[in-house]
Amino acid sequence: YEGVLEYARNFKKYQGKDQETIDREMEAFQPTGTLKELQQTIQNVRDHVDEVMDPLLVIQAEKDAMINPDSANVIYEEASSDEKDIKWYADSGHVITIDKEKEQVFEDIYEFLEGLDWSE
C-alpha cells in the first residue's frame, strides 16, 4: 500500500503539481476495498512465507516503483525452501516480463526449472 501511495505522489509531481496541491490530494486519498484486500493478502503471505518449502525462485526488478525491493529479500530469507535462488534485474521496472531484461528473466526461470529434480 505504501508503494501505491509513493507512486501516486511521484505521478502528481510528474504532472507538475505543486507540493501544497499534492499534499492536499494525498490527504483526501482513501484506500479502496481492493487495496485493503491486497494489503491483507500481502500481510498474510508475509505471515506464512516461512511455510514455503518447495523450490523457490524470487525475481525482483531494481527499478520497480510499485514494490518495495526489500520484499524480495524478506521472501528469500524467510522461506524454508532448501532449493531457492534470488535474481535481481538492474534495468527493469514493475512489469519485468515485458521490460528491458525480459529475455534474461525467461532464461533464468528456464535454468532454475531445468536445475530441479523432477523425478520425485
Residue/partner pairs of 55-58 with CB below 8 Å, 24 or more apart: 55/81, 55/83, 55/84, 55/112, 55/116, 56/81, 56/83, 56/84, 56/85, 57/84, 57/85, 57/86, 57/87, 57/108, 57/109, 57/112, 58/84, 58/85, 58/86, 58/87
- In this predicted structure, what is the pLDDT of residue 46? 86
93 contacts 69 by C-beta, under 8 angstroms: no
What does DSSP assign to residue 14? H
Task: Enter the pTM of the model.
Answer: 0.68
Whether the Cβ atoms of residue 89 and residue 62 lie closer than 8 Å to each other: yes
CA distance 59 to 40: 22
Pick from 42, 92, 97, 91: nearest CA to 71: 42
Q: Between residues 54 and 5, which one has the greater pLDDT?
A: 54
pLDDT in tens, 71-117: 899 999 999 999 999 999 999 988 899 899 999 999 999 999 999 99
Write down the pLDDT at residue 103.
96
At 3-43, the pLDDT tens digits run 777 778 888 888 899 999 988 888 877 666 777 787 788 88
